[in-house]
Amino acid sequence: MRTAGGWDAYNVTEDADLGLRLARCGYRCRTLAATTWEEAPVTFGPWLRQRTRWMKGWMQTWLVHMRAPRDLLRRVGVLHFFSVQAIFGGVVVSAVVHPVFLAVLVRQVAQGDIFLKSPGAVAAAINTIGATNLAAGYLAGFAIGLAGLIRRPMWWLIPELALLPLYWLTMSLAVYRALWQLARDPHGWEKTEHGVTRFAAAGPLRDGPHRSRGRSEKHRRTAF
């Protein structure tokens, strides 16, 4: 971490910034095959504030590290450079344009000419790419969610996959909030409170093999 220069204390997603700093120093990330007991927000308000902070931090990370794109390219290589654009930039841009794309789609459906009327070869190609991307994106999202629920297994949550399109729209709302905050309050940190569900109260902190003896409920309710 000292070699990487620490992390940006003004970035509201310091893990994203630190990960990219470490990558610039030649380090690589790997995945641990382990279960995380971190508690996700269970109501919409905290969820929206958390996703807003994440998206704002990703924007900050991209803007900071792209101040010298040639240096970033030299340090991480071509493949990882474009991965940065896809992950940090692509996720944000796709969430921004998603509602616009859906609005155009609804208009075409209402007019009865969805992907059918193409005034030229270019428009036909764009429509074909759009239709393919739409189908592949939705199918991939459902497939990943289904695979995760089957492996856990958590069969009772499978019907909730039908809410994924609504979930993606709320992600767009979080990105719009993040853009507003980036302009008005770039370093404001909307903290996420954890330890507020019955599952958290009965989780590893109390019953796990590495529990902290004598830790009260007040101390388990932490915000990050």
Rg (CA), the chain: 21
Question: With contact defined as beta carbons under 8 Å apart, do 175 and 92 qualify?
Answer: yes
Question: With contact defined as beta carbons under 8 Å apart, do 182 and 56 qualify?
Answer: yes
- Running DSSP on this structure, what letter comes out for residue 223? B
Q: Residue 178, Cβ neighbours under 10 Å: how many?
A: 25
Say if residue 217's pLDDT is above 60. Answer: no
For position 84, what pLDDT does the model report? Answer: 94
Mean pLDDT (whole number) for 52-61: 95
* Confidence band of 191 (pLDDT split at 50, 70, 90): confident
Q: Which residues pair with 193 in a beta bridge?
A: 223
For position 75, what pLDDT does the model report? Answer: 94
- For the chain, percent of residues with pLDDT exceeding 70: 84
- The 10s digit of each residue's pLDDT in 109-119 is 787 766 556 56
Alpha-carbon separation of residue 131 from 18, 120, 166, 196, 210 (angstroms): 37, 16, 19, 42, 50
Element (H, E) at 31: none
Considering the chain, what is the average pLDDT of its residues? Answer: 83
For position 208, what pLDDT does the model report? Answer: 40
* Confidence band of 1 (pLDDT split at 50, 70, 90): confident
For 34, phi and psi rounded to 5 degrees?
Answer: -145, 160
- The 10s digit of each residue's pLDDT in 78-135 is 999 999 999 999 999 999 998 988 888 888 778 776 655 656 777 777 777 877 888 8
Task: State CA 211 to chain mean position distance.
Answer: 30
Say if residue 213's pLDDT is above 50. Answer: no
Q: 3-class SS at 193? A: strand
Task: Give the side-chain half-sphere CA count within 13 A for 23.
Answer: 21
pTM of the model: 0.80
* Confidence band of 37 (pLDDT split at 50, 70, 90): confident
Q: Where are the alpha helices (DSSP H) in 66-197?
A: 69-84, 91-111, 121-151, 164-184
